[in-house]
């Protein structure tokens, strides 16, 4: 970091506004394009030296996005932007633009950072440092649930479908205050320990210097433990309507259980909502998800949605070794055979599969729906999730 | 740019081709920018699309040493940066005269006892090296944070020896199979390129370049069959590496084109998942292009 602190063209005017414009367009489409990326883009265009469409496209795509899922949005934004550029014929201006010298950091001073951008950076930074909290955990933690005030005792056992609006608010707050614990797994990373399975030559040598090179005092290392990933998959189809909003609150609470938590929702198709749920304000997060998800309270295709998850995310969302919570009534409109196969796949990848079915709350319920029957052989724990009490139970089951 | 012999993306693309790496325009641009802006290049893509090969080809092309850091779960600084040779130190300590051991202690932490690991080697080599950080997604978050530090400074302080810094940073290629998302902080520091499966003609050309003894007709048959395989609903899609393996296997059996029986015998070279194999076996004729 140093003396070079201005964004070229930041003074307004000059040849850069069109280039910066692309960055703004991308931001407007919700892509996390910070000023650093825009700056790199400007330098990239400078380095390429000429400005045919292809060069601009690739210069933009390599510098401004870093996720395959963003490619489509980038393509759209780029097309629009390029078209607008053509009409004003700003292109040639860039030709003689000096290449800004390499910066050694990518957080340059910015022309009044936009609040969104700042938020993204702050969020990224806090994620980055939030290591100690859930990484080095001793195994065998008791699951802890906050005790719910006794006045709420009635609310606890009342089905979500029967709540009044006012009760719904109170229950939502209670759900959000649930504390979830995910079990730990042992990693291959080691740390110094008084007893352990690996000999620590480094520390042993250090200590031996005190005793004229005689390694009397031997040192050991032990493997560390960390929380398993937690993956929530929520059914938001029409038949789940009375419960899905409560389950979203549960998902919000779950985000606090560690950094490796992913949430997906599905009706007829799968949507990842993890990023949205990371916002501070739960109401805003839920509102935002409602906007994102196109198939809220529509039909159900469990098998296909699960397949989309396994195909697209088994690598990334760390399903491997994860605790998976699947919330659905199992009323499958698609092919139960597909669901059966996909559940078996999930079972092989995951550490534990917990199925939460609100219908199970009814004493007369039997898992006869074809979808549910197909899924059950691959389910480790089958729970109900129709009221607060059952979600508390779910929270404590996770840790075991 | 110092030590950077290419004036345009086209020139670089051509040079890569001469080294049997057929990059498309997007990848060539990404490599060109990475070299000219001095930023690490982060490559993601399905397994077997040639991410690692980029770094290897680049080292040949630039006449630089390839330094490879293979990441794995639990990797830490002592395996990536440097470590002391403790066994040797212990022996040296034992051999010392007890009386003047104290004065000799600092000898124990000289260059003689330092075991250089890939990152330190890359820092020392500077622009004489291409550093490949392979499969970074296998390492854990802590290691990623550590790597970020190294990538921003290209300098490291070994307490007992002093500061080692690269005059000019090496070219850096980072690959990831996306078994997890990398942190934004690291991504911000890098240029990003997603390598897709190549188009048919390019794949044929790649097979021909990488396995020259495979005939044109066989290469095309295999590439077409693989393209059809990728349209099937497989859990593990075959990459370019599999295409080349398959063509090699078939050429080894003396084939000049792909037939259904040949495909059945050699399916294991390209489809490596039991359930996928069952699915493909049932439609082998269609895959080979013999019926329909």
Closest listed residue to residue B140, CA positions, set A251, A185, A253: A185
Please give the Cα distance from A267 to A154 (Å, whole number).
Answer: 31
Least CA distance to A105: which residue of chain B?
A: B152
**What does the pLDDT read at residue A188?**
79
Residues B270 and B127 grouped into a single domain = no
pLDDT of the residue at A74: 92
Distance (Å, rounded) from C-alpha B155 to C-alpha B46?
32
Within a domain: B4:
no
Q: How far is B9 from chain A (nearest CA, A)?
A: 8
Q: Å from B50 to nearest chain A CA?
A: 17
Alpha-carbon distance A157 to B234, whole Å? 45
Give per-residue pLDDT as tens, B110-140.
Answer: 888 889 999 999 999 999 999 999 999 888 8
Does residue A374 contact residue A326 with C-beta atoms inside 8 Å?
no
DSSP codes of every residue in A247-286? HHHHHHHHGGG-S-EEEEEESSSEEE-HHHHTSS-HHHHH
For residue B243, pLDDT beyond 90: yes
pLDDT, tens digit (0-9, with 9 covering 90-100), for B54-76 = 999 999 999 999 999 999 988 98
> Is B192 in Cβ contact with A66 (below 8 Å)?
yes
Q: For residues B216 and B276, state if they share a domain.
A: yes
Residues B13 and B145 in one domain: yes
Termini Cα distance of chain B: 54
- Domain closes at, from B135, B162, B195: B195
Higher pLDDT residue, B278 or A286?
A: B278
Same domain, B25 and B148: yes
B62: domain CATH number? 3.40.50.300
Taking contacts as CB-CB distances below 8 angstroms, the residues of chain A near B96 are: 213
Distance CA B76, CA A187 (A): 13
Q: Chain A: nearest CA to B36, how far in angstroms?
A: 7
DSSP string, A128-192: HHTTHHHHS--S-PPP--PPPPGGGHHHHHS-GGG--HHHHHHHHHHHHT------EEEEEEEEE
Chain B 250-289, CB below 8 Å of chain A: which residues?
none
Q: Which CATH architecture has domain A157-181+228-398?
A: 3-Layer(aba) Sandwich (3.40)
From chain B, the residues in CB contact with A345 under 8 A are 235
Average pLDDT, chain B: 89
3-state secondary structure of B143: helix
d(Cα B12, Cα B29) in Å, to the nearest integer? Answer: 9
**Which of A45, A55, A58 best tests the B interface by mutation, with the highest count of B CBs <10 A?**
A58
Partner B contacted by A204 (CB < 8 A): yes
Residue B288 has pLDDT above 80, yes or no: yes
* B127 and B40 within one domain: yes
Whether B103 is covered by a domain: the verdict is yes
Beta carbons within 10 angstroms of residue B63's beta carbon = 9
Q: Which residues of chain A have pLDDT under 70?
A: 1-16, 50-51, 86-154, 295-297, 314-317, 400
pLDDT of B92 higher than 70: yes
Is residue B20 located within the same domain as residue B131?
A: yes
Cβ atoms of residues A384 and A360 within 8 Å: yes
Q: Is the CB of B86 less than 8 angstroms away from the CB of A201?
A: yes
Cβ pair B44:A188 closer than 8 A: no
Interface residue A132 vs chain B (CB under 8 A): no
φ/ψ of B174, rounded to 5, equals -110, 130
Domain with CATH 3.40.50.410 in chain A: 157-181+228-398
B218 and B90, same domain (yes or no): no
How far off is chain A from B217, nearest CA to CA, in Å?
32
C-alpha–C-alpha distance, residues A247 and A234, integer Å: 7
What's the total number of domains in chain B?
Answer: 3
| Inter-chain CB proximity A212 and B98 less than 8 Å | yes
Partner-chain residue, chosen from A187, A202, A212, that has the shortest CB–CB distance to B140 = A187
Mean local confidence (pLDDT), B14-18:
93
Is B90 in contact with A208 (Cβ distance < 8 A)?
Answer: yes
Task: Report the distance separating Cα B13 and Cα B27, nearest Å.
Answer: 9
DSSP string, A315-347: TTTT-TT-EEEEE-----SS-HHHHHHHHHHHH
Instruction: Let me know: does B197 contact B260? Beta carbons within 8 Å.
Output: no
Categorize the per-residue pLDDT at B18 as very low, low, confident or very high, splitting at 50, 70 and 90. very high
Whether B134 and B261 share a structural domain: no
Domain span including residue B93? 82-116
From the number of C-beta atoms within 10 Å of its C-beta (0-12, 13-18, 19+), residue A281 rates as: exposed
Q: How far is A233 from chain B (nearest CA, A)?
A: 18
Query: Has residue B189 been placed in a domain?
Result: yes
B96/A47 Cβ within 8 A: no
- Pairing label, strands A352-356, A381-383: parallel
On whether both B147 and B107 belong to a single domain, the answer is: no
For testing contact with chain B, the best of A49, A102, A213 (most B CBs within 10 A): A213
ipTM for the complex?
0.70
Q: Indicate whether B38 belongs to any domain.
A: yes
Q: Searching chain A, which residue's CA lies closest to the CA of residue B105?
A: A209
Per-residue pLDDT, A68: 83
Last residue of a domain, one of B165, B195, B225: B195
Residues 6+ apart with CB under 8 A from A228: A182, A183, A184, A185, A260, A321, A322, A323, A351
Both B146 and B91 in a single domain?
no
Nearest to A231 by CA among A262, A264, A272: A262
CA nearest B174: which of B218, B220, B105, B122?
A: B122
* A259: number of Cβ within 10 Å: 17
Give which of A245, A259, A251 is closest to A232, Cα–Cα.
A251
Within a domain: B3? no
Question: φ and ψ at B67, to 5 degrees?
Answer: -115, 120
pTM above 0.80, yes or no: no
C-beta of residue A56 within 8 angstroms of C-beta of residue A79: no
Chain B positions in Cβ-Cβ contact with residue A62 (cut-off 8 Å): 26, 29-30, 33, 191-193
pLDDT value at position A12? 40
Which residue of B lies nearest to A56 if distances are taken between CA atoms?
A: B29
């Amino acid at each position: 970091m140093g003396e070079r602190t201005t964004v070229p063209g930041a003074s307004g005017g000059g040849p850069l506004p069109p280039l910066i414009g692309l960055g703004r367009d991308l931001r407007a489409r919700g892509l996390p394009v910070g000023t650093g990326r825009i700056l790199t883009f400007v330098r990239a265009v400078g380095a390429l030296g000429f400005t045919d469409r292809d060069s601009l496209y690739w210069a933009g795509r390599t510098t401004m996005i870093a996720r395959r899922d963003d490619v489509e949005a980038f393509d759209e934004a780029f097309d629009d932007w390029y078209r607008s550029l053509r009409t004003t014929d700003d292109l040639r201006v860039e030709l003689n633009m000096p290449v800004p010298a390499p910066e050694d950091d990518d957080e340059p001073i910015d022309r009044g950072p936009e609040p969104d951008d700042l938020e993204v950076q702050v969020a990224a930074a806090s994620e980055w440092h939030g290591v100690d909290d859930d990484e080095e955990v001793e195994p065998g933690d008791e699951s802890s649930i906050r005790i719910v005030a006794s006045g709420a005792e009635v609310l606890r056992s009342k089905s979500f479908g029967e709540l009044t609006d006012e009760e719904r608010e109170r229950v939502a707050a209670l759900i959000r205050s649930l504390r979830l614990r995910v079990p730990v797994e042992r990693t291959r990373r080691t740390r110094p320990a008084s007893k352990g399975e690996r000999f620590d030559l480094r520390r042993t040598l250090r200590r031996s210097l005190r005793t004229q090179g005689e390694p009397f005092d031997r040192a050991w290392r032990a493997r560390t433990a960390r929380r398993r990933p937690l993956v929530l998959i929520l059914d938001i189809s029409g038949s789940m309507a009375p419960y899905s909003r409560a389950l979203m609150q549960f998902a919000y609470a779950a985000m606090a259980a560690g950094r490796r938590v992913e949430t997906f929702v599905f009706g007829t198709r799968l949507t990842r909502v993890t990023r949205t749920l990371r916002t501070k304000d739960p109401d805003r997060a839920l509102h935002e998800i409602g906007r994102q998800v196109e198939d809220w309270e529509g039909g159900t295709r469990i098998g296909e949605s699960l397949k989309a998850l396994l195909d697209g995310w088994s690598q990334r969302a760390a399903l491997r070794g994860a605790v998976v919570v699947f919330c659905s009534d199992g009323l499958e409109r698609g092919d139960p055979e597909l669901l059966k196969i996909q559940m078996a796949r999930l079972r092989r990848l995951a550490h534990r599969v917990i199925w939460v079915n609100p219908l199970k709350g009814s004493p007369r319920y039997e898992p006869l729906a074809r979808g549910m029957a197909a899924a059950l052989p691959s389910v480790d724990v089958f729970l109900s999730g129709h009221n607060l009490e059952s979600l508390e139970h779910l929270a404590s089951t996770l840790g075991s | 740019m110092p030590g950077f012999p290419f004036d345009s993306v086209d020139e670089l693309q051509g040079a890569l081709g001469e080294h049997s790496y057929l990059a498309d325009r997007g990848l060539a641009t990404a490599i060109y920018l990475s070299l000219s802006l001095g930023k690490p290049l982060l490559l993601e893509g399905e397994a077997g699309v040639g991410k690692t090969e980029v770094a290897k080809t680049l080292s040949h092309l630039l006449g630089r040493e390839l330094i490879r850091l293979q990441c794995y779960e639990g990797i830490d600084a002592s395996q990536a940066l440097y470590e002391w040779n403790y066994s040797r130190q212990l022996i040296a300590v034992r051999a010392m005269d007890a009386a003047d051991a104290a004065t000799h202690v600092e000898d124990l932490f000289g260059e003689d006892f330092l075991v250089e690991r890939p990152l330190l080697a890359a820092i020392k080599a500077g622009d004489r090296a291409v550093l490949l950080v392979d499969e970074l997604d296998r390492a854990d978050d802590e290691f990623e944070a550590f790597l970020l530090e190294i990538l921003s400074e290209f300098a490291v302080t070994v307490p007992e020896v002093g500061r080692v810094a690269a005059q000019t940073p090496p070219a850096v290629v980072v690959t990831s199979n996306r078994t997890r998302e990398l942190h934004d902080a690291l991504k911000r520091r890098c240029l990003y390129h997603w390598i897709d499966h190549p188009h048919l003609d390019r794949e044929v050309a790649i097979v021909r370049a990488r396995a020259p003894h495979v005939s044109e007709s066989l290469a095309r048959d295999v590439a077409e069959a693989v393209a059809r395989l990728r349209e099937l609903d497989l859990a593990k899609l075959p990459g370019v590496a599999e295409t080349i393996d398959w063509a090699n296997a078939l050429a080894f059996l003396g084939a000049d084109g792909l037939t259904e029986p040949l495909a059945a015998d050699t399916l294991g070279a390209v489809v490596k998942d039991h359930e996928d194999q069952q699915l493909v076996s049932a439609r082998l004729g269609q895959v080979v292009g013999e019926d329909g």
